[in-house]
Structure 1
Amino acid sequence: MGERPVHIRQSDQSLGGLKAELRTILPELEEMRNRKSDRKNQFIEVTKQLQKIRDEIFKPTGCTSTAVVVDESDLSLRKLEELHAELQALQKEKSERLKQVLDHLSTLNSLCLVLGMDFKHTVNEVHPSLGESEGTKNISNDTIQHLAAAIGRLREVKLLRMKRLQELASSMLELWNLMDTPIEEQQTFQNVTCKIAASEHEITEPNILSVEFINYVEGELSRLEELKASKMKELSFKEKIRTRRDLQKNTHGC
């Protein structure tokens, strides 16, 4: 424990003297035993906390925790202070990791909203604790790496869908201009055409890049193209009639 030892005085070696000495020493020994027990309990408590945080940070999911073992050969205050300093450092790292996990979850949630994907299902594939509103979030290295990888994958999906939506918007504007589509009819898809030059971070509207919505826009574009083809056919037919009439007039005129 790093404390001074108890000394027995050697001045009186008679039986009575030894008994008197023991009566003096025994209470002190008992007090030291109690202090040692208290100190050991402090070591056990801080060691348990250290082990718990180490497991949360470093131990792979599914691995069992090792038993807490206290080295009773050194129960000094200096050693206890060292353990407390280590605990504070780990608690700081845990706090930073939790913030990182929460930031990743916020980013994933935003991506899932825009893409029309199930956020809870997405994060549960990384770790079941991440989809729960209550309870402890897993903050292991594996979890943080898998969250970052999931964000990367969804960003790629977002960029691909964004490019597709902007292509559809550009084609839609061309057809509207070509066919003099009324403003009232264009209003329905204004949220599409206004994204024609938007950057990734500007596209945040829920479901704007969902598969269902892109299919809906593609359906509208197909309708416009069919309408264009129909009008072109109608114009061609009218042009043929006009040409035929002109020929007939010229023939009769001769």
Structure 2
Amino acid sequence: MKIAGNTILVSGGGSGIGLALAQRWHDAGNNVIVTGRSAAKLEAAITGRPNMSAMTLDVTDPSAMAAFAAAVVAQHPALNILVNNAGIMGTEDASAKRDLTEAEATVITNILGPIRLTDALIDHLTAQDDAAIINVTSGLAFVPLPKAPTYSATKAAMHSYSMALRIQLAGKVEVIELAPPAVRTDLTPGQSTREGYMPLDEFADEVMALFAQEPTPEEILVQNVLPLRRAEANGNVPAVLGMLASL
């Protein structure tokens, strides 16, 4: 993946990891479009930043995808990189019958959202030079957080989806998976100040350094996520799972 000279679309780009990376890519010399549901957050994200623009999009709304894709391509015909970052996370007690509204919303947002957005833009991307799709998953794709079973499952699904997509798009579109560890963002209540979580700026700086490697790694993995990513290979899944269960 080129470091500069791209036109990059970042879903969920108004806050958290999406915002931090969108602004760093902009600083590196890329045109960046951020999307999300909150117009106010998007406008704050791009304030004072030429060549950075905002377009609202609810990735849970399948009827909005075709119109959004047509609009973003019309306004930004050089678009060559899609970053599927939008996601939600919640904790659940699955030990008894419950209301599945939040679990179903997690599946729609975290799996169907990126699949639908990718599908809406894939014909355009395959026609571009230096095209790439970046799917933001999680260290929990490799060892689940027991109190967040649906979230963990969605990230495992996106890991599998990214692997398959990489094969289908070989030679046409680069497919990169970014799997963050626990990072200080507002993804869940209290997470932005939680002890032991990686500071957002530190995470984003390390991620940008990894993207600068040649060739770009298929998986962007900061040091903090390696114990999760390598747990199965190292035979440490029970120990890591037990640690996560204690959180």
What TM-score bracket applies, with the shorter chain setting the length?
A: under 0.3
Question: Greater Rg, structure 1 or structure 2?
Answer: 1
Higher share in strand: 2
Which has the larger share of helix? Answer: 1
TM-score scaled by length of structure 2: 0.23
